[in-house]
Amino acid sequence: MAYLNDSFNPQNETSVKLLLLSTCFIAAATFLYSAHRGSLYKAAAANEIAGVNKPLFSDFMGINGHFTFKPELYGKLCRLVRNYHNIDWDAKQPGDPITIPATTNHVNWKNDVYGPWKQKGFTTDICLQFGKFGGDHPNPVSDWKGKEQWIYNYGKSLATFFGPSGTEKLATSFEIGNEPGKRIDPAEYSTIFRQMASGIRAGDPKALILTPAVQARPANDYYQDLNSIYADKDILPLYDVINVHTYPTLPRSATSENTWNCSYPEDSSLMYMQQVDESIIWRNQHAKGKKVWVTEFGYDACTPAAMQNRKDWALRLNWQGASDLQQAQYLVRSFFAIATRDVDRAYIYDYDDEDEASFHGSSGLTRRFQPKMSFWAVKQLYETLGNYRFHRIVTNQPGNLFVYEFEQANDKTKKIWVAWSPTGAKTQEKDSYHPRVAKVTLNQLPAKPSRVIGMSTSDGPAPEPKWQQTGPNTITLLITESPAYIVMGH
């Protein structure tokens, strides 16, 4: 996803992106895996279950932001933020004078964006978007031809000013492109990446450098193929992090007329987590030592009033978002799914929306800066597990029960189990769906629970699920599709 130019509206490029994404998902639906690749999946999964060197949740949870981001509001949810930083705000054309932090549209990155964010405690990842120099615009290659030295100087200037050991220390990482995919000529992009990454390295060697959105499969209009340049010997030293975007979208089917309806995170028909797993496997084979970040994932949830005003493709092809409650449930459960993998950070898309009934049009945790249910659920997750890290999977029963264990950083006797029903609805079927509720028995708890807390969906007290101690290390619990936190050792 991208924010373009100076409109700050997440719908700017959505219509083009949606049409092109359909090709990607049709291809994904027909992608076949060999038995060898299947064995790699099992090996990767086995290696990534143990909670060794897992990040604390406070160092794992992030959110996407932009110019209108309110750090005092979203600081209740996390301390990692990713900003869409348009290169075409910094220069009208590549080759123009570099005037960082001042921009051509009268924004000052230091005073208006990164400075206030840092003051409120945020660590910023800068995603350098090509904007009007990118693939959505005619003949983007012409803008970059012959500008190799300028590209290097631009990267160096950014790192020198914003980098973690730079003049202002306002950011710790830089992404070279958001979703250029194959819309930018691969040879030209390779030159851009080499020059800009080399400049960033020279400007601040401590700054982390990310690929743009990539995948371990053939490129499409938004995601590059990791096999294109990222295993090349001259490219490997120029980046530190493999950058993955993933969304829980469904392929077109008899019950879904488009490729933008979604499903719950554990739905085995999705490419959602599989796309992450593929990138981890590729990293283990070709780029050992690199980190993997998921810098975009999310769910849309608009109001019934917005659904009444659907238009264009969303109306014609019956686009459906999740309910507010489902968005909250599925985002929290997505964090859990990503946490079990060898991923160091996960950034929710998006911070705010204008309640538009379309893909990426209602994916905010706030609606016109008023908290949705997902805001309170993510806030609770951050407050409850911020000082904990994923430790192990206790129970993994698809369609029945998931239980994960989290361990406090400084006291391993303090543990929290999180339990939920790994079920849900495809968004186009949500109106007739009956959420699952089940009474389960949990055995071999490491300590007696001090309390059980349900998922928050408002600013009031969290619900308290029904539970009962039935033995020294056994409880019965009423689970739902909202995760419940079982607190022990406190």
Instruction: Please tell me whether residues 35 and 144 are part of one structural domain.
Output: yes
Over range 56-63, report the average pLDDT. 98
Domain termination residue (choose one: 357, 387, 417): 387
State residue 45's pLDDT score. 45
Q: Is 5 a domain residue?
A: no
Domain termination residue (choose one: 387, 410, 443): 387
Determine the structural domain holding residue 442 and report its residue range. Answer: 389-488
Domain termination residue (choose one: 387, 413, 448): 387
Instruction: Please tell me whether residues 382 and 393 are part of one structural domain.
Output: no
State residue 185's pLDDT score. 86
Q: Is 189 a domain residue?
A: yes
The three state secondary structure string of the chain is CCCCCCCCCCCCCHHHHHHHHHHHHHHHHCCCCCHHHHHHHHHHHHHCCCCCCCCEHHHCEEEEECCCCCHHHHCCCCCEEEEEEEHHHHCCCCCCCCCCCECCCCCEHHHHHHHHHHHCCCEEEEEEECHHHCCCCCCCHHHHCCCHHHHHHHHHHHHHHHCCCCCCCCCCEEEECCCCCCCCCHHHHHHHHHHHHHHHHHHCCCCEEEEEEEECCCCCCCCEECCCCCCCCCCHHHCCEEEEECCCECCCECCECCCCCECCCCCCCCCHHHHHHHHHHHHHHHCCCCEEEEEEECCCCCCHHHHHCCCHHHHHCCCCCCCHHHHHHHHHHHHHHHHCCCCCEEEECCCEECCCCCCCCCCCCEECCEECHHHHHHHHHHHHHCCEEEEEEEEEECCCEEEEEEEECCCCCCEEEEEECCCCCCHHHHHHCCCCCEEEEECCCCCCEEEEECCCCCCCCCCCCCEEEEECCEEEEEECCCCEEEEECC
Residue 445 sits in a domain whose CATH number is: 2.60.40
Instruction: Please tell me whether residues 221 and 146 are part of one structural domain.
Output: yes
Instruction: Please tell me whether residues 376 and 430 are part of one structural domain.
Output: no
Look at the chain and report how many structural domains it folds into. 2
Q: Is 102 a domain residue?
A: yes
Q: Is 8 a domain residue?
A: no
pLDDT in tens, 207-254: 999 999 999 999 999 999 999 999 999 999 999 999 999 999 998 887
Instruction: Please tell me whether residues 256 and 295 are part of one structural domain.
Output: yes
Q: Is 284 a domain residue?
A: yes
Instruction: Please tell me whether residues 270 and 303 are part of one structural domain.
Output: yes
pLDDT in tens, 444-476: 999 999 999 999 999 999 999 999 999 999 999
Q: Mean pLDDT, the chain, as a whole number?
A: 90
Instruction: Please tell me whether residues 430 and 300 are part of one structural domain.
Output: no
Q: Is 67 a domain residue?
A: yes
